[in-house]
Amino acid sequence: MNRAEVSMKIHFVTEGSLNGFWDKTEGIDCDVIVFGFNGLENVYYERELDGETGKLEDLAIMSRELSAVVVSGCYTYSCNRKRKSAAIADKGRILGVSDMLCNLDDGEFTSGAHLRVYETSAGRIGLVIGEDLFFPEVVKTLSDCDADIAICLYEENVDFLPQVLMRAFAFCYGLDICLCGAGIAQVASTGGELSLSSPAPECDAEIDCKREYHLIGLRKRGLRREIKDSF
């Protein structure tokens, strides 16, 4: 069974901050704008609530002014805990902040608590934060929850591993996966191929997000059920 395709025009910004991007927005026509961790950098929740800073508000304003979904990686701080996160806004509203779930080897970041698929004007978007890309259950869960696309916010793509995993998970779980990091933007299609790989500070991709479902039979050992003759 196939569902109607969702088409997304995505603009990747791999260098520079969100505020520094304002002067470059003229003529941009897209559904989604994605920044890496360079976009918002450090977000302190207490300062945001006290009005000392307004980074999340800036994200919402940009999404309103450009009539688009805006996603940015960031490092969030709250109660002396640091998290690797991503914020998402849609046409003037902050939809939420997702945190990295999997903290490798007791690192400096605190683990998040849940995954979420965001219902946006561009489609259903799942966020993958940093090293969560190394864990197949993260992408599988987003696929099972009917996301149209997964967007991974990454720091630096220093080797081939993220690319290999993106391609494998996109193929296995039927979900296009985008990656935006420092100096790199990539898109893996559900065919397991890279449809985009660019080191440019800004680049664009148009993605037809296809949902294809199959019935899969599974043979397993055990789970034997005794059938007794009835008298």
pLDDT digits over 143-168, tens only? 999 999 999 999 887 678 999 999 99
Cα separations in angstroms, 46 against 18, 80, 95, 101:
20, 11, 19, 22
pLDDT of 223:
62
Average pLDDT over residues 53-59: 96
4 pLDDT tier (thresholds 50, 70, 90): low
Q: What is the Cα–Cα distance from 125 to 116, expressed in whole angstroms?
A: 9
Average pLDDT over residues 51-66: 96
Residue 29 burial (CB count, 10 A):
10
The DSSP code for 55 is H
Looking up residue 197, the CATH number of its domain turns out to be 3.60.110.10
pLDDT of 28:
87
Do 40 and 74 contact (CB within 8 A), yes or no?
yes
pLDDT tens, 69-88? 999 999 999 988 999 999 99
Q: Is residue 222 part of a domain?
A: no
Q: What is the Cα–Cα distance from 80 to 109, expressed in whole angstroms?
A: 11
Angle of the 136-144 helix axis to the 161-173 helix axis, nearest 10: 30
pLDDT of 113:
80
Sign of CA dihedral 14, 18, 20, 23: positive
**How do beta strands 184-188 and 194-198 pair?**
antiparallel
pLDDT tens, 164-223? 999 999 999 999 999 999 999 999 999 999 999 999 999 999 999 877 788 888 887 776
pLDDT of 2:
42
Q: Is the pLDDT of residue 1 over 50?
A: no
Q: What is the Cα–Cα distance from 36 to 74, expressed in whole angstroms?
A: 8
pLDDT tens, 106-131? 778 888 888 999 999 999 999 999 99
Least confident of 26-30, 77-81, 98-102: 26-30
Q: What is the Cα–Cα distance from 189 to 8, expressed in whole angstroms?
A: 13
Please choose, from the candidates 146, 182, 140, 153, the residue with its C-alpha nearest in 3D space to the C-alpha of residue 32. Answer: 153
Look at the chain and count its residues: 231
Coil, strand, or helix at residue 206?
strand
Please choose, from the candidates 188, 154, 145, 196, the residue with its C-alpha nearest in 3D space to the C-alpha of residue 168. Answer: 188
Q: What is the Cα–Cα distance from 65 to 129, expressed in whole angstroms?
A: 26
Least confident of 34-38, 71-75, 99-103: 99-103
Q: Which domain holds residue 143?
A: 8-211
Q: Is residue 92 part of a domain?
A: yes
pLDDT of 230:
55
Please choose, from the candidates 119, 44, 29, 52, the residue with its C-alpha nearest in 3D space to the C-alpha of residue 77. Answer: 44
Q: Is residue 60 part of a domain?
A: yes
Q: Is the pLDDT of residue 15 over 70?
A: yes
Structurally, the chain folds into a number of domains equal to 1
